[in-house]
Chain A
Amino acid sequence: MTDPAAPLALDCDQIARLLPHRWPMLMLDAAREVVPGVSAVGVKNVTADEPWCVGHFPGKVVLPGVLAVEAMCQLALLTCAVERAGRGQGGGVDGYLTSLRNFRFRKMIVPGDQLILRVEHIAGANGVSEFRGEGKVADDVVVTGVLTAAYSDRPSSNARTTSVGGSR
């Protein structure tokens, strides 16, 4: 029998069942070491065929910093969604950023990079939580900061497509 307290690993289809985001805004390819409501590690593989590459910037493609923040926020919401799923509220969450603090972007993130994100819960419960986040590419810390997000259970009647690719 699996230990309910053991950290979880989630693939992109499992993530899509817990988060409302879809292509091109689903920023997580996988998650691992998910400790419900507490911490998680997320993987974002940055590729040259993502839509933002067209304009950010022609001739010098760089992942927009706000998308690294978005990926971090999605990972934070995922830990909250997994916690709620563990309590029988398994329909996933809808969440929104409410504040960002002390964000630092230390290195540019470019296609070919694998962004490994880590979030840790600082405070909050009941639909509002603050997380400390860090993103690394290989051994380099590329982004750090503190984010707060408000979230609620996704209504079960909300029939979104569960396919990661969406209706692209």
Chain B
Amino acid sequence: MDIQEMRAEVERRRATCSRIKEMIVTRLDLTMDPEWITDDQSLFGRGLELDSLDFLELAVGIEVEFGVALYESQISVFGSVSTLANSVEPELRRSRRQAELELQA
């Protein structure tokens, strides 16, 4: 991976995290700027203080936003924006590859 590819990868990761933060704030009707949520901040308990109903909302929100079903995942997947990004990135990579293949075809 050269420096250009690494930069692009970092930018994609940042964009994914931003989309997740935006989804959390919109979906849970939080009165805060999405960018106030840091990537590794705990979402439940201390941290954002989300509860089990919020967890259900996030699971549905991730499916609507990214097309990834996390209903059977470990609860730790919902630990932070970073862990959520780790879970949705394989699907995002897959759909990017699919789009590239369709462009070539």
Interface residues of A (CB under 8 A from B): 98-99, 122-130, 148, 150
Contacts and interface: CB of A to CB of B under 8 A. Distances in A.
18 contacts: A98-B56, A98-B57, A99-B56, A122-B60, A123-B63, A123-B64, A124-B59, A124-B71, A125-B71, A126-B71, A126-B72, A127-B71, A128-B60, A128-B71, A130-B64, A148-B57, A148-B60, A150-B56
Interface residues of B, number: 10
Given A122-B64, A123-B64, A128 B53 contact: no
Residues of B contacting A: mostly: helix
Interface of B: 53, 56-57, 59-60, 63-64, 69, 71-72
Contacts of A130: 60, 64
Nearest to B29: A101
A94 B62 CA distance: 25
Contacts of B69: 125
Given A99-B56, A99-B57, A130-B64, 20 more contacts: A98-B53, A98-B57, A99-B53, A122-B60, A122-B64, A123-B63, A124-B59, A124-B60, A124-B63, A124-B71, A125-B69, A125-B71, A126-B72, A127-B71, A128-B56, A128-B60, A128-B71, A130-B60, A148-B60, A150-B56
